[in-house]
Every structure is written in structure tokens, then in C-alpha cells.
Chains A and B, each alone.
Chain A
Amino acid sequence: MSAIAALFVIPGLFFFAVGTLGILRFPDFYTRLQAAGKCDSFASVLVLLGIAIYNLGDFTLASLLVSIKIMLIAVFVFIASPTATHAITESALIVGVEPWMRKERKKQ
């Protein structure tokens, strides 16, 4: 069980690390939001899935219920995360945060 759980948790940690690196490396608000909002949601779902599988190691009704609850968190993240990302992006555009563009694109 823990081996299967590690199959999900370790890639999850990898995507968390990539998301954090993305926040540090990307040039502006919007691109950073890409890394923060999306890599993290995918990573957290992977980690949660791994934890849910690991939790089933000693299979009882109680642990099954806990695993279902963990998966409900994952479902919530999948709905809430893109909604929040979308809301932040739109409000930033309305307020007028300047997006970073390629130089040749700026001239147009």
C-alpha cells in the first residue's frame, strides 16, 4: 500500500516544487499565477490521492470513510482552485496590472 501511495505522493511533491520554482522564475503576475494556481492544484490532488490510498492500508469501515473524505477534499480543490484563479486573473486585468509580453509583441 505505501509503495502505491508513494507512486502518487512523490510526483505530487515534484509538481509542488515545480509550482514554487515557477512562482520564483516567471516574469509577471499572470504567469506566476499559472504556476501557483495550477501546478499546485494538480499536485495537491496527487498527494491527497496518495494519502487516501495509504490510509486504506488497514481496511476498516472507518478508514474507508476517512479516505472518501480525503477524496472529497480533492474534488473541492478541483472546483475551487480554477474558480479562484479565474477570479484573481479577471480582477487583476480589470484593475490594470500590466501583463509581461514578448518585446516583438509589444511593438504591435
Chain B
Amino acid sequence: MSRMATTFLAMLAFWIVLSGMFDGFHLSLGILSCLLVAWFSHDLLLSVGPIRSRIRDFFGILRYLPYLFKEIVLANLQVAYIVLHPRMLDLIDPSLVRFRTSLKRPISKVTFGQSITLTPATITVSIDDDEFTVYALTRSSAESLPGEMERRVAAALEDRR
């Protein structure tokens, strides 16, 4: 029940932002369709589990985001340097890297994989159980995996037991 209510509230907020109309007609249309969507897809948006752990996940991600943005900026500058370098071919050393992760939850694996792809010079190719295959553009970016990012994701999303 609480999942349905949360889905409904999230949908309604989304509706209001997208429509921007506050008269009775548009709002009632929104409430109606949000109720409908919340009724048949309340098991899609939120995972099962006690509310407290979900709130913890939310704040974990909030704490993780500033670090991710910093990494993205740094990595983009690094790629810009490589692209603009006159002897670019000497700088790059593409390789496929395989490593095992200690992350357990699917959500943290996805977050980690997406973060790897977002920071340039590395692309997550596939995730099989706990084995990551990553395509790295330079030797230094290959050697930095999994590294600090995995620890940060673990701190943000893994269960701390």
C-alpha cells in the first residue's frame, strides 16, 4: 500500500512539473491517470523492502553524486587532453580489463557500471554475476579499476552489517 502511495505521489509531482496547469480540470485528469498508473505499476518504480532502507539508499546516492560529478569533470578534462594532444596515438593504449567486484546488490552493480561508463576512458562492456568486463582507453585508466569508485559505491549502497 505504501508503495502505491509513494508511486502515486512521485507520478503526481512529475505530472505537475510537466503540465504546468493548475486548474481543476487538468489537476483532476492528472490525479486520475496517476492513480491508474500507480495501481498497475506500483511494483515497478520501487523495490520491495522496508521504507527505512530505501531512504538510506536515497541518501547514499545523494552522498555519492558529488564524488561522481567530480570524477566526470576530471575524466572529461583528461580525454580532452588526449584528443587535443598532437601525438595522440602514443597516449592511448586500449585494452579490455576483467575484474571481480565485491558488490552484492544489483542496484550497486548497475550504479558502479554506469559510473564507469560515465567517467570517460572506460566503458562497462558486460556484468556477469560479479565479473565486470571494462574497455579502457588508456593504461592509467585501466589500472585505476576498480579502485576508489567501487569503495564509494559500496559505502553508498551496500548493506552495512
Q: Is the CB of B135 within 8 A of A30?
A: yes
Contact of A31 among B72, B76, B94, B114 (CB under 8 A): B94
Give A27-55 interface residues, CB cut-off 8 Å to B: 27-28, 30-31, 33-35, 37-39, 41-42
Contact of B117 among A31, A62, A86 (CB under 8 A): A86
Q: Is the CB of A100 within 8 A of B94?
A: yes
B53 proximity list for chain A (CB < 8 A): none
A25 proximity list for chain B (CB < 8 A): 83, 88
Q: Is the CB of B123 within 8 A of A101?
A: no
State whether the Cβ of A1 lies closer than 8 Å to any Cβ in chain B: no
Q: Is the CB of A22 within 8 A of B79?
A: yes
Q: Mark A70-90 against chain B: 1 for CB-CB distance below 8 A, else 0.
A: 001000001101110110011
Complex CA gap A14/B75 in Å reads 15
CB distance from B21 to the nearest CB of A (A): 10
State whether the Cβ of B137 lies closer than 8 Å to any Cβ in chain A: yes
State whether the Cβ of A107 lies closer than 8 Å to any Cβ in chain B: no
State whether the Cβ of B92 lies closer than 8 Å to any Cβ in chain A: yes
Q: Is the CB of B114 within 8 A of A83?
A: yes
CB distance from B70 to the nearest CB of A (A): 12
Contact of B118 among A19, A26, A62, A82 (CB under 8 A): A82
Q: Is the CB of B94 within 8 A of A38?
A: no
Complex CA gap A40/B89 in Å reads 21
CB distance from B67 to the nearest CB of A (A): 15
State whether the Cβ of B28 lies closer than 8 Å to any Cβ in chain A: no
Q: Is the CB of B137 within 8 A of A65?
A: no
- Additional A-B contacts beyond A38-B117, A68-B17, A79-B114 (6; CB < 8 A): A21-B83, A30-B135, A37-B123, A82-B117, A86-B123, A99-B135
Q: List 16 A-B contacts (CB under 8 A).
A: A14-B80, A18-B80, A18-B83, A30-B94, A30-B123, A31-B92, A31-B94, A31-B137, A38-B120, A39-B83, A68-B17, A72-B17, A86-B124, A86-B125, A89-B125, A93-B125
Question: Which A residues fall within an 8 A CB radius of B?
Answer: 14-15, 18-19, 21-22, 25-28, 30-31, 33-35, 37-39, 41-42, 61-62, 65, 68-69, 72, 78-79, 81-83, 85-86, 89-90, 93, 99-102, 105
Q: A-B pairs with the 10 shortest C-beta distances?
A: A82-B117, A38-B120, A22-B83, A18-B80, A65-B20, A82-B114, A42-B76, A89-B123, A82-B118, A90-B125
